Amino acid sequence: MTLEIAQLDANQSDFEQRLNGLLAWDSVSDQGVQTAVAEIVTSVRQRGDAAVLEYTRRFDRVDAASVADLVVSADRLEHAWNTIPAAQREALQVAADRVRSYHQHQKTESWSYREADGSLLGQKVTPLDRAGLYVPGGKATYPSSVLMNAIPAKVAGVAEVVMVVPTPGGELNEMVLAAAHIAGVDTVITIGGAQAIAALAYGTETVPRVDKIVGPGNIYVATAKRMVFGQVGIDMIAGPSEILVVCDGKTDPDWVAMDMFSQAEHDEDAQSILVSPDADFLERVRASLETLLPTLERSAIAQVSLANRGALIKVSDLDQAVEVINRIAPEHLELSVDDPEAIIEKVRHAGAIFMGRYTAEALGDYCAGPNHVLPTSGTARYSSPLGVYDFQKRSSLIMCTAEKASELGKVASVLARGESLTAHARSAEYRIKD
């Protein structure tokens, strides 16, 4: 099995051009995918359950008589929890507890303050009524994504959490069901892809319409989320997984190689990049990648991912490494260096930052506590990890005393007349005291 991976030097003239080529992930705007997803979304919107069943048969090879047959009962979820091996149950419990306690810190509360005359201003925080969680299930199963999606929703106080997950060939994953049980998911429906997103956005005879859809997925899922945005809220467009490791050359090359594989094994489109000022180290990691690749269960996927989108990048020093980090804005950043805290101040764009040689990104995928649903494809420049705040919305509070209404009425009147909105002006002027 041969390893192919691009080798770049940040000081060479073609660096920016080669890097841009590697970073491009334009599948979401691919015309073929757009057309296919638009057709699926329209059909589900128009024909509800019947269309969902058709696409589930076609894409997931599940031949159900009704969508109701694809709803997993609460008893079945509990049964999965009770019957999975004890080691899995304990690991899920530890992960769920850690994810819950981390996310409890994110909960924002309503606030208000009074001005001197007693007028009140503030913000009322309200959880969403109903959230839809997409848990991917095409090429792998993700019990961890169940926890990462559902626990923040429950911490926020969402009344009803509806989870969709595809089951290719109809095979239910017991750990996914057990995770749904422990995370307190209200409804689980085994549908996936664009048809599941459309069903959650518009509602069908069986699938309840939700207020917001969160969670990662492949290009069909990402394209569908973008298409239904507006009808429902969405968290972000999370694309294929990514890791950027910055290493000073002193970490075991096998550790770094396996950290790169940990994301490359997700998907042929996943991206794993190593940046180092040490040319010998880059070569040693390349050798480790070559030796370890055939030992992976998912070597075929990882091989394509590294060949198409992976890179080993030589930089002059760690300051130049930081420039590369901020240029790429990776989903996951591993700072495999002596003093990560010295670098952290300069890092502006990254979904999650793993500090120090011992902090493998994989720990964050499962059980460190922070969320593993993160901005990808450079969107960490402007967006944040999935969190409790994604399931809370805010309403402004304003209560004026008669005196404040009179005082502000004069200001509003001038501004409203400046905009030629005279009904606004007169509404405010009614409250002005002589």
Ligand X SMILES: NC(=O)c1ccc[n+]([C@@H]2O[C@H](COP(=O)([O-])OP(=O)(O)OC[C@H]3O[C@@H](n4cnc5c(N)ncnc54)[C@H](O)[C@@H]3O)[C@@H](O)[C@H]2O)c1
Ligand Y SMILES: N[C@H](CO)Cc1c[nH]c[nH+]1
Instruction: Tell me how far apart the alpha carbons of residues 124 and 109 are, in angstroms, rounded to a whole number.
Output: 8
Q: How far is CA 109 from CA 42, 128, 131, 157, 370, in A?
A: 39, 14, 19, 12, 20
Nearer to ligand Y, 325 or 416 (CB): 325
Based on the number of CB atoms within 10 Å of its own CB, is 194 exposed (0-12), middle (13-18) or buried (19 or more)? buried
- 60 is in the binding site of which of ligand X, ligand Y, none (Cβ under 5 to 8 A by kind)? ligand X
79 classed as catalytic: no
Instruction: Tell me how far apart the alpha carbons of residues 84 and 103 are, in angstroms, rounded to a whole number.
Output: 26
- 192 is in the binding site of which of ligand Y, ligand X, none (Cβ under 5 to 8 A by kind)? ligand X
Interaction mask 355-394, ligand X, x per CB under 6 A: -----------------xxx--------------------
Interaction with ligand Y in 18-47: which residues (CB under 6 A)? Answer: none
160 classed as catalytic: no
Interaction with ligand X in 29-58: which residues (CB under 6 A)? Answer: 36
Interaction with ligand X in 283-342: which residues (CB under 6 A)? Answer: none
Instruction: Tell me how far apart the alpha carbons of residues 92 and 184 are, in angstroms, rounded to a whole number.
Output: 13
Please state, as a whole number, how many other Cβ atoms lie within 10 Å of the Cβ of residue 79: 15
The one among 173, 218, 262, 288 contacting ligand X by CB under 6 A: 218
Q: Is 143 in the site for ligand X (CB under 6 A)?
A: no
Nearer to ligand Y, 134 or 281 (CB): 134
Q: How far is CA 383 from CA 42, 62, 168, 238, 350, in A?
A: 29, 36, 31, 11, 9
Strands 332-336 and 311-314 come out as unpaired
**Angle at the Cα of 78 from the Cα atoms of 73 and 79, rounded to 5 degrees:** 95
> Residue 144 Cβ, how far from ligand Y at the closest point, in Å?
5
Instruction: Tell me how far apart the alpha carbons of residues 347 and 319 are, in angstroms, rounded to a whole number.
Output: 10
Interaction with ligand Y in 238-257: which residues (CB under 6 A)? Answer: 241
Helix (H, G, I), strand (E, B) or coil at 353: strand
Which range of residues in 4-12, 99-107, 190-198, 421-429 is near ligand X by CB under 6 A?
A: 190-198
Interaction with ligand Y in 129-158: which residues (CB under 6 A)? Answer: 142, 144-145
The one among 43, 106, 119, 145 contacting ligand X by CB under 6 A: 145
**Which residue matches tokens 């491009």?**
24
> Which residue's CB comes closest to ligand X?
193
Catalytic residues: 331-332
Residues that bind ligand X (CB under 6 A): 36, 59-60, 136-140, 142, 145, 166, 192-194, 216-218, 220-221, 238, 240-241, 266-267, 270, 372-374
